[in-house]
Structure 1
Amino acid sequence: MKKIAIKAENISKQYRLGEVGTGTISHDLNRFWSKIRGKEDPYLKIGEANDRTSKGSSDYVWSLRDINFEIEQGDAVGIIGRNGAGKSTLLKLLSKVTKPTTGSFKVNGRIASLLEVGTGFNPEMTGRENIYLNGAILGMRRAEITRKFDEIVDFSGVERYIDTPVKRYSSGMYVRLAFAVAAHLESEILIVDEVLAVGDAEFQKKCLGKMGDVSKGEGRTVLFVTHNMASVKSLCNKGIFLENGSKKFEGDIAQAVSLYLGGDVSGLHKKTFNSLEKEGVFKLNSISLQSKGLNENEPLFENVKIDLLTDIDFIVNDVENYHITYHLYNDIGEALFSFCDSSNNLLKKGNNRLCCIFPENFFQSGNYSLALFVIKDKKKSVFSEKDIITFTVVDGGRELGVYMGREPGYIKPKFEWLNLSAL
């Protein structure tokens, strides 16, 4: 049985909008009077969800609300969500930069945090001095830090500047040294916010490799916040998806990423449109993916044929000059390929119900999205819509003795093979 590294119980964090402070004197007196009587803070009842896109009526917002989760020792957990979802707030609470409004954490082990460029660094001190300062803050003995010192400097790649005050470092040099310190000192839990985006591509790759080693090789726990879904899927085995301060999903990282990218783990693969049209050209009614014998609420299996149905009305007279093109994307937003109705005279004026058939065992299990294009004269796009529909393909099972797990890649084309020596 694995040991619990972090347990969050009813974690909430409330902030007051506007000027810094808790509010007026009357607010403070009300809080004080409620505390004397043993009652709840009255302003905990009036906060609103942290939706940055809408204007609310309250001066108080919940950056996080009733967050509960358990993270086991050795897990690599990706915390994902859109801007303002509460990711950085959660990490700051875990790192004890700020206190939760309600709830508590139970943490087994020391935490090393890298929340923003230069966290915990004294700009007037040299890189060498800051390594020892950070190590002391994390509870390391000087002998421990000295033992790791050369390894930290080598990893950071800033050896030439190690005796220079860090205020003269670039932001990339700052984050190089800060990550090297956090990753190499002997803490049981490593927390990394989106600071790796400051580093160059070579250093980002190096950092991801080190975090993988920390989690898989050394058995330490890693919490990773990023908007790079390729990185989070390659590094993490579990995910927590936050939205407007609430936890929407906790579990397998692939499902968490699917929800973040707008997918649906329930299996619904039909989208109806009421007003999606290009005036005078077409009106799109619906797009759906389905398999024979299954309804639209059931998942799509990899080992059966999948039909892509496009219901579209063409209004224009010269409809023969138009065609439909789709681009297929994987769950991290990479374009896999494009396909179109290249047959002449396939489209006609009025209603068209187009069916594109994907053969069985074409897709690997995973999450996908489609972009739709309406093309005129084979060169001009008159309409385009990315992520017009998302869908999930699940493992259909394989014959006993053949299954070896999910193969790499996203599609499984069947090519023709010949043995020329037998001909």
Structure 2
Amino acid sequence: MTSGRQRHISIQVENLGKLYRIGQGAQASYQTLRDQISRFAAQPLRWLRFSKDSNGIRRNEEAFHIWALRGVSFEVRQGEVVGIIGRNGAGKSTLLKILTRITVPTEGRVDLWGRIGSLLEVGTGFHKELTGRENVYLNGAILGMKKAEIDQKFDEIVAFSEVERFIDTPVKYYSSGMAMRLAFAVAAHLDPEILLVDEVLAVGDAAFQKKCLDKMEEVGRAGRTILFVSHHMPSIVRLCERAIWLQDGQIYREGPAHQLVSEYLTEALGTTPSREWPDFYSAPGDEVVRLLAIRIRNNRGEVTDTFDIREPVGIEMEYVVLEGGYTLHAGFSLHNDEGQWLFASLDTDTEWDGKPRQPGRYRSLAWIPGNFLAEGTMIVGPSIRTEDPEILHLYEPDAVAFQVTERPGLGPSSRMGFVGHFPGIIRPYLQWETRLTDPNPWNGRSSFQTGPFR
């Protein structure tokens, strides 16, 4: 490998595999010698039953093995921020543990260029008997930093972690949140060339999560390499240029983060931008009205499940009125992936306001304007109700879903260049007017004069 190649690649993984052995045979090595002798005396033949599997690995027939990773190969270049996604058990955490040399691979190799900072779980790398202060210096020394370098960063680390009062208390007395804050502060502030983070959002309050994401963005802008594992898809889209999707211990897909997140939500989590019920009588509804379809469309008329925050989102409903004479309103509810109700909307078309519907097939389309929703997964529940008397004919919760992302470089949004967590469950782009009313307000005045815009 040439030196020029080494300068441009931070992480290189080739044919990586990790085998775990599970069962009584796998656990025998953890028993005492006395236990093993007793088991051998009681059942002498059980220790002779060995076989070779398809990979040539000799094992006890009572045990079985599982490949947590198999045949994983990829490269991460210097300054890239790459997300690792996949369902529980896909091999994400095992991969990071191999990269940090906590776990030894069964096969393959990993080459890393640069100093590594990692946060794999609460307090990883901390010595429980040492104080927070001592652990900061211990972790810095493990990273190869000199004491003077750690001294320079120490106050910043402690301020970020918000554990000043307990910095000289042994870590074993920390709550999980305190340990997480200090662990992240150490990992992110000691100038690693490569930062590995596993579910940093799993512990901590909203303010701490915001600080973590802000810091990771700062580290990424500084040209560091970040490998970020998370189940929180908006964070993956926001932080990562590229993503790798692990499934059953193998790379299933990789590509641009926003595109891969859309595919993941659709395929792995079962979200879909379109549902149809072609049979009238099995479709949601009653003897008055039945829902035939609901679709999420963009402004080009395409059915899609991924929208930039600036794009309008079309909610299209098709339904059949079976019995005339009812004043009907199509509508929908919108929730985010945290279960928060964002809003509900009913058909506002004045042509049908207060008018009974005749039997037939109908199509209703509502547009959510761009620069209105925040990032995240949005879940749509279509409904149709009668106005007077109030009758709910159908409501299909969680019928379809779509993803809102905010990609850089696509024009202005309400974020206006602000980095970090942007609060709120909606994000309207409001019209502001700002002007200079007095270029020299201190010119002989003791107070300011204010007035309305004209």
Q: Which has the larger radius of gyration?
A: 2
Q: Which amino acid aligns with 2:363?
A: L
- 1:340-389, CA deviations, whole angstroms, 9 ceiling, x for partnerless residues? 3243367747552313265998999x997551332434577542322515
Give the conservation status (yes or no) of the 8 Å contact 2:309–2:371: yes
Is 1:117 the counterpart of 2:122? The answer is yes
Among 221, 239, 243, the residue aligned to 2:243: 239
Is 1:136 the counterpart of 2:138? The answer is no
Give the conservation status (yes or no) of the 8 Å contact 2:195–2:227: yes
CA distance in 2, matches of 1:148, 1:303: 39
RMSD (Å) for aligned C-alpha atoms:
4.5
CA distance in 1, matches of 2:246, 2:402: 20
Q: Which residue of 1 aligns with 2:179?
A: 174
CA distance in 2, matches of 1:361, 1:127: 47
Indicate how the Cα distance of structure 1 residues 292 and 192 shifts in structure 2: closer, same or farther if over 3 A, else same. closer
Give the conservation status (yes or no) of the 8 Å contact 1:309–1:353: no
Q: Which residue of 1 aligns with 2:442?
A: none
Q: Which moved more, 1:301-310 or 1:381-390?
A: 301-310
Q: Which residue of 1 aligns with 2:398?
A: 386
Indicate how the Cα distance of structure 1 residues 363 and 406 shifts in structure 2: closer, same or farther if over 3 A, else same. farther
CA distance in 2, matches of 1:175, 1:413: 35
Give the conservation status (yes or no) of the 8 Å contact 2:258–2:405: no
Q: Which amino acid aligns with 1:286?
A: A
Indicate how the Cα distance of structure 1 residues 318 and 383 shifts in structure 2: closer, same or farther if over 3 A, else same. farther
Taking the TM superposition and a 5 Å limit, the aligned residue runs for 1:46-125 are 59-125=64-130
Residues paired across the two proteins, number: 382
Q: Which residue of 1 aligns with 2:421?
A: none
Q: Which residue of 1 aligns with 2:363?
A: 354
Q: Which runs of 5+ in 2 are unaligned?
A: 29-45, 415-425, 432-454
Among 366, 379, 382, the residue aligned to 1:373: 382
CA distance in 1, matches of 2:204, 2:413: 28
Is 1:323 the counterpart of 2:329? The answer is yes
Indicate how the Cα distance of structure 1 residues 183 and 392 shifts in structure 2: closer, same or farther if over 3 A, else same. closer
Give the conservation status (yes or no) of the 8 Å contact 2:237–2:405: no
Q: Which residue of 2 aligns with 1:41?
A: 56
Q: Which residue of 2 aligns with 1:271?
A: 275
Q: Which residue of 2 aligns with 1:191?
A: 196
Q: Could you tell me the TM-score, scaled by structure 1's length?
A: 0.72
Taking the TM superposition and a 5 Å limit, the aligned residue runs for 1:159-308 are 159-217=164-222, 219-262=223-266, 270-273=274-277, 275-278=282-285, 280=287, 282-288=289-295
- 1:315-352, CA deviations, whole angstroms, 9 ceiling, x for partnerless residues? 567743x4321245789998765433243367747552
- 1:167-223, CA deviations, whole angstroms, 9 ceiling, x for partnerless residues? 111111111111111112232111111144322222222222221111102x11112
Q: Which amino acid aligns with 1:86?
A: G
CA distance in 2, matches of 1:115, 1:375: 47
CA distance in 2, matches of 1:142, 1:243: 42
Is 1:311 the counterpart of 2:323? The answer is no
Q: Which residue of 2 aligns with 1:11?
A: 16
Shift of 1:166: 0.9
CA distance in 1, matches of 2:335, 2:341: 4
Q: Could you tell me the TM-score, scaled by structure 2's length?
A: 0.68
Q: Which residue of 1 aligns with 2:41?
A: none
Q: Which amino acid aligns with 1:311?
A: E
Q: Which moved more, 1:109-118 or 1:96-105?
A: 96-105
CA distance in 2, matches of 1:144, 1:113: 18
Q: Which amino acid aligns with 2:331?
A: T
Secondary structure in 1 matching 2:126: coil
Give the conservation status (yes or no) of the 8 Å contact 1:289–1:308: yes
Shift of 1:140: 2.6
CA distance in 1, matches of 2:217, 2:361: 50
Q: Which runs of 5+ in 1 are unaligned?
A: 35-39, 45-57, 396-403, 416-423
